[in-house]
Amino acid sequence: MADTEKKNCCRRMLSDMLSLENGGEDTAEKISASPDHFRCSNCFSAFLKGIFIVYGSVTDPAKRYHLELSFPTEDIRDAAGDIIDGHGFVMSRGSRKGRYLLYIKDSGKIEEFFALVGANKAAFELINSKIVKELREDTNRQLNCDMANIKKSLSASKHITEIIQHLYDNGAITALPADLKETARLRAENDQATLSELALMHSVPMTKSGVKHRLDKIAEFAHEIEERENKS
């Protein structure tokens, strides 16, 4: 088939689908009969483009991914859905407020839909929106994770500070080895400092993990004292 004929058959198919906007009782029959007039591999794309122009809508991808075709009757929806499914592009079916729907919620498949109907700019914009949305979500997840870690660190700092204060209050702090006693004092005097900051405050600067190890030893020491007190 010559290129001109291909273009003409696709134009006719698109025109036939656009004419459905006027409605009519035979709309479902017209849609069902459409494949009989497919003359080239691009006729299905023209069919799908016309159906989307008349019945379709797409949600702003910055909010959510949702493309749908909304039909006035179930038989019109099923007529269009059967043809679309038959060409390997399956869409979900549903209904809402008296309308009968074919819809897609997967961003990759929406991109494929736009590319199929020749709306390459729309597909490109959707891809860009998806990238921006995913970056924003990744950033929010990272921020939430960071905030959770900060809260966890503050909670742990408050807990060990309370343990050390209890050791001071009952005089048990004097039983600590000199190195642990120094770390306990620094923690008590700098309850908002990070472990890294505490590490540099020691008379002999140490590592963050070294400070963590000492604080764990102090907590263990306090726990042993508490157990002995409970047994006595």
Are the C-beta atoms of 54 and 32 separated by less than 8 Å?
A: no
As a whole number, mean pLDDT of residues 125-140 equals 67
Structure confidence at residue 119 (pLDDT): 80
Structure confidence at residue 69 (pLDDT): 93
Residue 55 belongs to domain spanning = 3-118
As a whole number, mean pLDDT of residues 101-116 equals 90
Q: Is residue 63 part of a domain?
A: yes
Structure confidence at residue 153 (pLDDT): 61
Are the C-beta atoms of 45 and 118 separated by less than 8 Å?
A: yes
Model-level pTM? 0.54
Are both 37 and 83 inside the same structural domain? yes
Are the C-beta atoms of 187 and 160 separated by less than 8 Å?
A: yes
pLDDT in tens, 69-103: 999 999 999 999 999 999 999 999 999 999 999 99
As a whole number, mean pLDDT of residues 17-43 equals 88
Strands (E), the chain: 56-58, 67-71, 92-96, 99-104
Are both 84 and 161 inside the same structural domain? no
Are both 65 and 172 inside the same structural domain? no
Q: Is residue 142 part of a domain?
A: no
